[in-house]
Structure 1
Amino acid sequence: MTVAVEHIATDQPPDDAKARDVDYGWQSGNRLELLENGEAYFPRVFEAMRDAQREILLETFILFEDKVGHELKGILIEAAQRGVKVVASLDGFGCGELSPAFLGELAEAGVLVQMFDPASKMLGIRTNWFRRLHRKIVVVDATVAFIGGINFSADHLGDFGPEAKQDYAVRVTGPAVADLHHFALAQSGRQVRTRRGWRRRQQRPSLWTTANEEGLVRLIYRDNVQHRDDIEEAYIHALSKAQKRVVIANAYFFPGYRLLREIRNAARRGVHVQLIMQGQPDVLLAKLAARMLYDYLLKDGVVIHEYCQRPLHGKVALVDDEWSTVGSSNLDPLSLSLNLEANVLIRDRAFNQQLYERLELLAHEHCRTMPENRKPRLWLWRLTVGFLVFHVMRHFPVLTGWLPAHKPRLKPFESQAHDL
C-alpha cells in the first residue's frame, strides 16, 4: 500500500504568501480556559476532536507511540472515517521516531499527514536539529482552539513518573479562533481566504492594547522570514509597561540583551519580578545556561525560583493584573531565533489571576528560591565561563545560518510502500 505523506521542507512556502505574511489583531469577547498539564489538556482536546463535525487541524512538535499517541491516533482515524477533514502537521525531528505503520494507519484512514523538514539519520543520529516546527496548536471546526506547550506524549502526565513535565495550554472559544484557524490552515499549505482584519506586515497592529475589555486575545508567531522577532518584541513591550508584578515561567531561559535589560529595569523601578526556572531539567545545559544569568538579575531585585518537583516545560508569563501569554516559545536562542513558534497574548483579569495563583502555588510549594546575596564558589571561573557561554549562545543562530538553508516550498512526497 502506498501511503501519502507530505514532507514540508520550508520555513514559509512562497505560494499563497499573502495569506501567510499576516499580522493578527486583538479580538475581544473570547472565553479562555487555562489547562495545566496533560491531566487537564488531553481530556479537553480529545473531547473536542471526538465532537468534530467538519475539520481538525493539528500541529505538534512531538508525537510519541505511547498511550497518549495511540489514543490520539484512534480519535483522528475515527474522525476521518466519518468524513471529517483531518490535517496533522508533525515535526520531522520531534516525530522522527514514528513508525511507518503508525503513520500508515493514519493515512489509510484519510488523515493528511504532513512532516516538516524530515531528514534521514546519519550513522544512526538525526541531523535535522535546527529550525523546527515547535508549535502546538489544535483547531476543531473553526470554533474551538488549543495552544500552548503541551505535546502529544505520555510524559505530560503525572503517572509518567519523576520525568513527567510541568506545562500549560489554553482553550480558546470566540472570535480569536478565526485567526488561529486561518493561521493553522495557511501554515498547513491549504487554501485560505483573507479578510480586512488580517493585515500585512507594513500595517502591523500594536502588540499592546489599552482597550477596557475582557477576553482580548491576539495571536503572534515567529518564522524565519517576516516575523522573526514578534514574540520577543511582545515580551519586551509588556515588560516595559509593567507597574506591579511580572511572573515568567519558562523552561529554557537564555534570552538576549534587550529582554534581559527589560526584566532588570522592571525590577529596578519597583515591579515585583519573579522568574520560575528549571531546577530538575530534562536538558542539563538549559539549567547551566540559565544560571549564568542569575547574578546579573538577582543584584537588581529579580526573584528567581527553581522548580524542583519535576522538569518544567512551561512557556507562560503574566504582567500586572491583565496581560498574559501562553504558547510554545521558550526564551532561548532556538525559540527566539530559529524555530517556528506561536503564542497568544491575552488581556483578561480572570485568566491572569488564575495563572498567577497557579504559578504562585508552584513557586512557594515546589521551588527553591535563589538567595539575593549568593556568593558562588569559584566565582572568577564562573564569570569567565559564563561570559563565553553567553556570547556563544547568543551568536548561535548566526552560526547556524552558515548551514544550508531550507528551500521555501511545499514538497509533496510519496513514501515507500508499506504492508499494513
Structure 2
Amino acid sequence: MLGSFGSSSREEEDHPTPTPTPTPTPSDAHLFPQHQQIPPQGFTSPAIHMRQLLISCAELISGSDLAAAHRLITILSANSSPFGDSTERLVHQFTKSLSLRLSRYTATATTAARASSSAVNVPDSESDEAVVQSSYLTLNQVTPFIRFSHLTANQAILEAIDGQAAIHILDFDIMHGVQWPPLMQAIAERFPLPSLRITGTGQDLEMLRRTGDRLAKFAHSLGLRFQFHPLLLFNTDDPTSVAAAVLLLPDETLAVNCVLYLHRLLKDRDKLRLFLQRIKAMNPRVVTVAEKEANHNHPLFMNRFIEAVDHYTALFDSLEATLPPNSRERLVVERVWFGREIEDIVAAEGDRRRQRHERFRSWEVMLRSSGFNNVALSPFALSQAKLLLRLHYPSEGYQLHTLNDSFFLGWQNQLLFSVSSWR
C-alpha cells in the first residue's frame, strides 16, 4: 500500500452541479508550481505524496473546482507513466480516469470523452473485444486471484457433489471456461463415473459456443459424459429469466457458480435479492461466490475513489513484486483490464457504472437474508490454495486468511478477494 489516508472532509454526491470556475487562491498555489514538477516533500514518501495529490484532484473535481483540477491533472500526467514503477503506473491510470470524469463538466471535451470511454469500456469491434478477452487470459496467468477463486470454488463443488451420479453446474458469465478443466479432470477420476452438464451464461453466443466446444473436446479426451448448454443473458437485471431459461432435470445435482459476477447486479438491490431467491428456489447443493474485497459501490464519489486507490495500489504493487520490470504481460493487464475497471469506478456514473464491488460482510448479509447458510470451506481447500501460492506465486507478499468459514486473499495487509460457499 502507498499509505493510509483518512476519510475526506467533503461528502459530495455523484453528480455535483458545475459552478463558475473560481480563480485559484494562494491557499492552493502549492499544488501548481510553475515548473510543473512535484516538489520535494521532506520525509513524505513519493508514493504517499502522489496518493495525496490524486485524492486532492478528485476532491477538486467533486467540488466543481474545474480549473484547479485541470492544472493538477496536468502535473499528475507529467509525473506518471505506464512504463514506470508501480506508483507511476497507478497514478497514470487514475489520472486518465480523473481526466475523463473532469471532461463530463467541460463541454469542449464531451465528444472526445465519449469516444475514449467507448473505446475502453464498451468494445465496438471484434478486435477491441479480442484485446479485452486476451487481457483476461493474461490476468489469469500472471496473478493468483482468479486461479485462487476458481480452485477454491471447484473444491467446494467437488465436496458438495461427492457420490452423485449426475452433476449440473450453472456458471454465470463462463467466459472462456478456464475454471472447469481441473474440475472435469477430478470428476473423471471418480468411480462410478458421473455425468456432467454445464450451463454457461454470457452475452456473446459465439464465445459461448467456442467455450462449449473446447470443454466438450476436453471431456471426450477424459472419457467423461458431458453436455454444454449456452445461455444468453442480455438483461442480467431480470432474475426471473434465469429460472425460466435453465433446464433442470430431476436426477441431477445442481451447483451454482458466481465467480466475480454478483456485483454486476448491485445497482438494484431488490432485483439482486430476487435473483438470489430464485437461485435458492432451484435447490442447489452448493453456491460458490467470489468477489473483490472492496467497497466500490459507495454512494459518495470520494469514498469510492479512496477505496479504489487503496485496492489497486495493492494490485499494482503485487505485479511489481512478481513480474520483471519490462513485462509485456503486466502492461497489458494494467492498461486493458485494471485500466478499464479503474475508469469505470472513477469516471462512469449511474447505470453505466458496472464495477460495484462490496465487501464480504455485505454479501454475507444479502445471502443470509435470501435463505442461504454459509458452508465452511474445507482444510483441504485451504491447503490447495496455499500450495497454489507457494508453487506459482512464491512471494511473501501474498497473504491467505480464513474468516467466517471463508477465504480471503490479499497483498501485504490489504485484503483483495474473497471466496465463500453457500447452501
Structure number having the greater strand percentage: 1
Q: Which structure is higher in RCO with an 8 Å CA cutoff and minimum separation 6?
A: 1
TM class by smaller structure: under 0.3
- Compare CA radii of gyration and give the structure with the larger one: 2
Q: Give the TM-score taking structure 1 as reference length.
A: 0.26
